[in-house]
Chains A and B, each alone.
Chain A
Amino acid sequence: MIALVTTYFLVFYILIPGVLFRFLTSWFVPLKLFERTRTQEATFAVAVALMPFAVALFGVWNLPVMRHLPFPIMEGSASERALDYHRVAAILTSSDASKLLGNSLAGSSAESRSESGSLTPSVSAQTSEVYWHSLNQVLRRQARFLSWYFALIAIEGVCFGLLARRYGDWQSHAARYRFQLWLIRTFILPNISEWHLLLTGFNWPHKEDIDVSVDILQSDGLLYQGRVADYFIDSQGKLTGILLENVSRFDRDAYNDARKSPATEQPISSAAFWRVIPGSRFYIAQSSISNLNVRFVARDQTLISLAEKILDAEDTNAYQVVVESEDEAAESNSEHPDIYS
């Protein structure tokens, strides 16, 4: 029975809050899904559950609505409450709980039990009823406490998720948002997958609208470049693959040929040897990635204004600049690569 009670406390007070918190925070930022040891799991759960536990405890003892709802009961005095817990403890530690709950448990009358001699003379039907009543009171109190506790954990999880989403914005004003940044860096950041930091604009202010562009060198020597559309991690938090859009492949053979050719004007620009790959999504599995060059990319409007400024500074102020769409880029490139080669 003691083992059962210990399991109950472990599951309802530590494990479920930890899981609930992670689940709700993951709606906003993907947390690491690595397998922790029991100690790590418990430490994490205790850390996130401490505040909701204290608030829930204070609330169900003192605050008007939380004191009675849900699972309302007629609350007695503090000593009556203590007596309820004493009785439940007696049931749990008793070697034979049926002796205390006997009559109701067996569904027969106390008298018949007394006749059979299975109950001590002091445990009457009335006593049994008292124990059942205390058990019911304690269960209802537990259910009420856990309801508020889980609700507060859920609120905390959502708040932390929302906080984490503002991380990039607040980093730009570190002095003003020192407390929020401390919260995120202490509790959220260590649990976020490093790939989320590397392959999304999480680290940058929302208004900057940062995209992530990667150059991927495969183990077979092919070099791809594209915008990260999505990424995938396994249960250990390891990268399993990257989904790219606006993908180009570097035509290394043509580039090497051009470099060797005496007819080509040297030095040659590598920009002409990127071949646009038709199609909107391109998946590269982690197993074929040799290395990865990550670049955080400012939005198109920034590119245009920077290009215009630089062209002006270079004394070429009579020009206008537009960013080509993917389709235009594909059309302008007559040599489509054989992507299956």
Chain B
Amino acid sequence: MVVDLKKLSDALRRSSPEEDLRRDLQRIIRARKPEIEATLATGKSFVLRVPDGRRIRISRRPQPAEAVQ
């Protein structure tokens, strides 16, 4: 099988990894926003799995008063 590497290279460059990630994140966060908010409201952190397999932990930023304590 002979593959035209120039075409393959151009085809791969048509999408941007950052743009793809932004789209995926937007879709997932929007879909799971109620769950995220509900979990954070209880003081826990929420672990979100992104499509490439990585996991991000979303947590409430400590308030200044909490930070002092």
Query: Chain A interface (Cβ within 8 Å of chain B)?
Result: 171, 185, 189-190, 192, 194, 197-198, 203-204, 208, 210, 213, 225-227, 246, 248, 269, 271-272, 274, 295-298, 300, 302-304, 306-307, 310-311, 314, 316, 318-324, 328-329, 332
B59→A320 contact, CB < 8 A: yes
**Contact (A302, B55) CB under 8 Å given A269-B32, A324-B47:** no
- 6 nearest A-B residue pairs (beta carbon): A271-B49, A213-B52, A324-B55, A296-B17, A194-B3, A189-B5
Bound-complex Cα distance A304 to B54 (A): 11
- Interface of B (DSSP majority class): helix
Bound-complex Cα distance A326 to B18 (A): 22
* B10: min CB distance to chain A, Å: 9
Q: Most chain-B Cβ atoms within 10 A of its Cβ — which of A198, A322, A332?
A: A322
Tell me which residues across on chain B come within 8 A of A332, comparing CB atoms.
47, 55
* B26 within 8 Å of A (CB atoms): yes
A267 to B, closest residue via Cβ:
B31
Give how many B residues have a beta carbon under 8 Å from the other chain's beta carbons: 39
A210→B61 contact, CB < 8 A: no
A307→B18 contact, CB < 8 A: no
Tell me which residues across on chain A come within 8 A of B30, comparing CB atoms.
314
A298→B21 contact, CB < 8 A: yes
Q: Most chain-A Cβ atoms within 10 A of its Cβ — which of B18, B26, B53?
A: B53
B21 interface neighbour in A306, A318, A329, Cβ under 8 Å: A306
Bound-complex Cα distance A316 to B33 (A): 9
